[in-house]
Amino acid sequence: MDKRTLGNGFEVSALSLGAMGYGKSREIDDRADMIRLLREAVDLGVDFFDTAEVYGPWTNEEMVGEAFAGMRDRVKIATKFGWDIDQVTGEHRGDVNSRPEQIRSAIEGSLKRLRTDHIDLYYQHRVDPRVPMEDVAGVVKDLIVEGKVLHFGLSEAGAGSIRKAHAVQPVTALQSEYSLWTREPEAEILPVLEELGIGLVPFSPLGKGFLTGKIDAGTQFAANDLRSRIPRFTEDARDANQALIDLIRRIGDRHGATPAQVALAWLLAQKPWIVPLFGTRRRERLEENLGAISVGLTTDDLTEIEAAAIQIEGARYPEDVMKRSGL
């Protein structure tokens, strides 16, 4: 497995596996299968894994902790704080909360659930407008001094927040959505990251499944599937956005690669400090995605993608989700 370096010399596998999709509810029906998949990913060379206290809350961290018990030295774990979660009952009260006392309580819970004495990368999950970013960074800086955290990260933060945090405690990585169909970070965020030496861990690199080429205008989503509410996944939008799939499928055919592999390879080709974060529940999809590392897109391939200038139809989240997440 190729390695990449995020900010502050944090070296990780070139692709990261996110555990969010393995269970955000109180119960994880296929918990044993997901633990097995996490361990298989390590055997395949992945060493960078992502979770958060809010997934469940708590059940996801507990599962990740069990999966890596006895092999903690082989993996690097990222988790997140920043939501208003009762640290006794686990009740998610719905809003953000990055008050210093909440962060300190959250880290103790995460360490216990993950069965470890340190978190490799500790993200603020969402910016809290009621708490100065300098205060948040100051608490994490103290946690780093105490050895409970090794690296500080932000998620979906704007350029101003990134600069404020970085001035107090150097930020190692930003986690934000970035892919062939979500390119907003290119305008302002990527230049700031490059200037400050901060890595990017883009989530949803496969566009919530759309960039795999397995979703079209006729796909039906379950009522509890968020995509059924996302403007970008309406039938008309999917039909319009199929042009992007046609493009990456043509490029993939030249390389013997799937659309998903091309989408991941495109991200890897953008900057050497980008480490895409994908999720999957199946071994064959895990192996397919890891195969993207071997897909060497040419300058002509990249130019063809840019020249196509495909405009994506539809917003990336419903309006209520955007508002709740501060996006």
Q: Which two tokens stand for residue 111?
A: 């360490």
The 10s digit of each residue's pLDDT in 146-156 is 999 999 999 99
Amino acid making up residue 260 = A
Three-class secondary structure of residue 67 per DSSP: helix
pLDDT of residue 327: 57
- What amino acid positions are annotated as catalytic residues? 55
In Å, how far from its chain's centre is CA 14?
13
Per the model's pLDDT, the better-predicted residue between 303 and 19 turns out to be 303
pLDDT of residue 321: 67
Q: Dihedrals φ, ψ of 116, to 5°?
A: -145, 165
- For the chain, the structural domain boundaries read 3-324
Three-class secondary structure of residue 92 per DSSP: strand
pLDDT of residue 30: 84
Q: What confidence category does residue 238 fall into, taking pLDDT thresholds of 50, 70 and 90?
A: very high
pLDDT of residue 319: 76
Model pTM? Answer: 0.95
The overall average pLDDT reported for the chain is 94
pLDDT of residue 27: 61
Question: Residues 269-272: contacts with CB within 8 Å, 24+ apart?
Answer: 269/297, 269/302, 270/190, 271/190, 271/194, 271/200, 272/4, 272/5
* DSSP conformation letters of 131-188: S-HHHHHHHHHHHHHTTSEEEEEEES--HHHHHHHHHHS-EEEEEEE-BTTB-GGGTT
The 10s digit of each residue's pLDDT in 99-123 is 999 999 999 999 999 999 999 999 9
Q: Dihedrals φ, ψ of 287, to 5°?
A: -65, -40
pLDDT of residue 320: 72
Q: Which CATH architecture has domain 3-324?
A: Alpha-Beta Barrel (3.20)
Q: Dihedrals φ, ψ of 35, to 5°?
A: -65, -40
